[in-house]
Structures are given as C-alpha cells and as structure tokens.
A and B are shown apart, each in its own frame.
Chain A
Amino acid sequence: MTAPNTDYLIAHLQERLAAEELGELGVRIEARGPGVVVTGTVPTARCREELVRTVDEELAGLTVRYDIVVAGTAAPDLPEEVT
C-alpha cells in the first residue's frame, strides 16, 4: 500500500474546513519539508480549537505546525489621514 498523497490530503482538508462548522476559507495550508504548515487568522479562540482538531484528525500521522492568530478586537490606536 502506498503512503497517502499529502497534496490531496491538504486539498480534501480545505474542502472540509469550508463545508463544515468553521466555514473557513482564509487559512493557508501548505506542505513544507517533511510536514504541513497551517497559517492564518480565525475569528475566535473556539474557532482555533476547532481548526486544530479538524486538521489533526485529517492529517493524522503527519507533522503539523500551526501559526494561527485570533483576530484582534481592540479599537484602533490612530486614524489614517487619507490625502
């Protein structure tokens, strides 16, 4: 039996993330070196947990590195003067 093709695993994972509860299309998932890197910004800490759970499940057996930020909700410090 051949090892699963990482390219298609990632493609199917992206389809699943869009279709399921997260409705997530804004996260980047790329094969890098021996593993996979997941980067992006999600709306809430709960979304981050759900994302990690889904990715770990779909890419079980692969080394996955995460760089996921929860969107900032603070008011801005300074306005921009648009000229």
Chain B
Amino acid sequence: MIRVAAVGDIHLGLDSEGLLRPALETLPDCADLLLLAGDLTRHGTPEEARVVAREMAGLGVPVIAVLGNHDHHDEQPERVTAVLREAGVQVLEGQGTVVDVDGTRVGVAGTKGFGGGFVGRCGSEFGEPMMKEFIRYSRRCADGLRTALEDLAGKGCGTRVALTHFSPVPDTLAGEPLEIYPFLGSYLLAEAMDTAGADLALHGHAHLGTEHGMTSGGVPVRNVAQPVIRRAFHVYHLSGRAGGSQLATPADVAG
C-alpha cells in the first residue's frame, strides 16, 4: 500500500510561520510522501517561499510540489523554485520523479497546468494572438504532464500520481461559479492523464470546489485545496502494483 499525503493552496505568508508544522510532523507515521498542489505562497515572493521552505524542511518524508498561479504573481517562479529546492522540496513542471516505497516504485508527474475550460465549454487556439497563446500554454503544460507520466511508466513505476494546480475535470469545481470554470482548469490535463494512464490525480486552485471527481477515462481526481479538505493535508491509500503500470488503451480512454 502507498500512503500519499497531499494539500494545495496553503497560501503561506509572513504571518504563517509554524502554522502547519505540528500537523506536518505527524507525516512519517501516516504517509510515505507529501505532495503539494501549488499556491504555496500568496504572492510568489522569495520571502514567502522561505516560509514554505522552513515549514517543509526535514519532514522525514519526500516532499514533491508543483507551483500555482499565486507562486507566479511576483514573476520570479525560478527563485521560488530554487528556495524550495534548497529545503529539499522537489518542484516539478512537466517532469516526473520516482519515490521508492518499500520496494515499490511510485511515480509522481507534475505540472502547474492552466485554464481553458472543459469539453464543449472551452477556449480554442483562434483569433487574437493572446487567445491563441492562452490555449497553447495550457496545451504545453498538458503535453509535459503526459510525457512525464509516460516516462514514469517506462521506468517501471507500478503506481503513478498526476499532480497539478489547475483542475483536470469540472467535477471537483462544484461549488464554484460556473462562469469561472474556464479559469479553473482544462480538459487537456485530463486527456493527458487518460492517454498516459495514472492511478490518482491531485489538484488545488478551486477553494470553493469539492474533493471528489473522476476523469472520463476513470482516473480518480481529488481537489486537495486546503479550504476544501479543511485540514493541513489529506492521506490517500493506493494499492501499489508491482512492475510497470499500464498505459491506457484508446478503448479505455474512449470508455
């Protein structure tokens, strides 16, 4: 069994020092790894990133993160990433990483992702250059996630988790105003997961959403935004499979 702890949207600021630490220190007893689904800061400043770094340092379990839109606001995501990496947090963007859990290879593929909307209610690469770039950027994020998931399958990961900030499905947005769904996620992320295969998808971003959802290809999705789960983190137990995890077939995706 793989025990995955996860939270997103912790939005730490200079007044948050030590707030999550007591709960996080229980992690070695209840989880094998901690995944952070973006929006770790409020404005994406290096000072806020240092608060996150101190909160996450030396927890006794691997900590793997993606950034969120708030972590980009100060326009120095590279510095935020560097501060987190110094504290031992792995930050993924179109990349994957492998964690060994009692001999089982667990793969985590991550991207921030972006908006665009969901099938039948989404933007397209059409019209003004800004609109085209909006959707192209979303597509690049999704392509990075798909490639990372496929690489992890090739590396013999029996269990693969897709970690994003933006949502892959509308299910977990229930509670948010319908009008803003295109700013909360993109079906391209779900399509990437259903094409490459994944055992669990975790995201944040939608504070007013709900925890449970599923891609049309059957990947369980959980919105782990802290305002949604109302805890320092949640823990998900996955039954680890030995050997290479399966790629979804076209029939699986269609079904």
Bound CA–CA A69/B30 (angstroms): 27
25 A-B contacts (beta carbon < 8 Å): A23-B43, A23-B73, A26-B208, A26-B227, A40-B207, A44-B13, A44-B15, A46-B15, A47-B15, A71-B226, A73-B19, A73-B20, A73-B22, A73-B23, A73-B231, A74-B23, A75-B26, A75-B233, A76-B30, A76-B229, A76-B235, A82-B200, A82-B220, A82-B236, A83-B239
Interchain CB contact under 8 A, B208 and A74 = no
With a cutoff of 8 Å between Cβ atoms, the chain A residues found around residue B16 in the complex are 43-44
Contact digits for A49-78, partner B, Cβ 8 Å, 1 yes 0 no: 000000000000000000001011111100
- Residues on B lying within 8 angstroms of A by beta carbon are 3, 9-13, 15-16, 19-20, 22-23, 26, 30, 42-43, 70, 73, 177, 199-200, 207-208, 220, 226-227, 229-239
Q: Are B3 and A79 in contact (CB under 8 A)?
A: yes
Given known contacts A26-B208, A46-B15, A71-B11, what 11 new A-B pairs fall within 8 Å (CB)? A22-B42, A26-B9, A41-B207, A74-B232, A75-B23, A76-B234, A76-B235, A79-B30, A79-B236, A80-B236, A82-B200
Question: How far, in angstroms, from A23 to B23 measured CA to CA in the complex?
Answer: 25
The A interface, classified by DSSP as helix, strand, loop or mixed, is loop
Q: Which residues of B contact A71 (CB under 8 A)?
A: 10-11, 226-227, 230
Say yes or no: B207 contacts A26, CB within 8 Å: yes
The total of interchain contacts (Cβ-Cβ below 8 angstroms) comes to 85
Docked complex Cα distance between A5 and B43 (Å): 30
